[in-house]
Amino acid sequence: MRLVEGVIDVDDVDAFVAEVDGVASETGTTIQAFDARYVASRRHIERAVELADRATERGGTVARDRAVEILLYAAGRRQITDALELGVSEGRNRVVVLVDAGLGVDGAAADRTEADAAEAVRSQVLDAVEPTLGDYDPERVRAYFDIGDVELDVVDGDLEALVLERVALLVVER
């Protein structure tokens, strides 16, 4: 798994998705772009990938597409339309883009495939490469994941821990 960070200007979300899908098809990888304002940490995306892959192995996915399944877990939502808020929107977007070789691809082959796909994302998809991971909006994240003050106080203000809990709870809610 690799994360590519940067900025994109999106005129048409459908055209952007088609462009990303084209890069994913060309490179044989899963690619999913996230609005960086919602991504609590690298672990947030890692956990979503782990749980989406586990659901796939068990035959319990919600979506037909692996990238969408990962988005659902990252969002902690079963409804694709609700999870899309974590994706890109029209206008300027600060993004974290997941590039993953997928299930069954390990070691050097995965590393090569992901490196090539990450470079394709940098050159073909992003308008600018710049750090975005960790640049989330705490209030936006709290509102999206419905995290209140009392709950945040219980975990000593560790918002990431609560987001990871929401990601994991999607499995329980099935």
Structure confidence at residue 174 (pLDDT): 52
Residue 127, pLDDT score: 97
pLDDT attached to residue 173: 57
Structure tokens at 118: 């990450």
> End-to-end distance of the chain based on CA atoms, in angstroms?
26
Q: Are 98 and 3 in contact (CB under 8 A)?
A: yes
What is the longest distance spanned by two Cα atoms in the chain?
Answer: 47
Q: For the chain, what's the residue count?
A: 174
Predicted confidence pLDDT, tens digits, the chain (174 residues): 999 999 999 999 999 999 999 999 999 999 999 999 999 999 999 999 999 999 999 998 889 999 999 999 999 999 999 999 999 999 999 999 999 998 777 788 889 999 999 999 999 999 999 999 998 999 999 999 999 999 888 887 799 999 999 999 887 555
How much is the pLDDT for 153? 86
The pTM score is: 0.93
What are the structural domains, with CATH classification, of the chain? 2-172 (3.30.2380.10)
- pLDDT at res. 21: 96
Give the per-residue pLDDT at 83: 95
At 75 the pLDDT is: 97
Torsion (CA) 136, 42, 164, 56 in degrees, nearest 10: 130
Helix ranges (DSSP H) in the chain: 13-27, 42-57, 66-75, 80-83, 107-120, 138-144, 149-154, 159-172
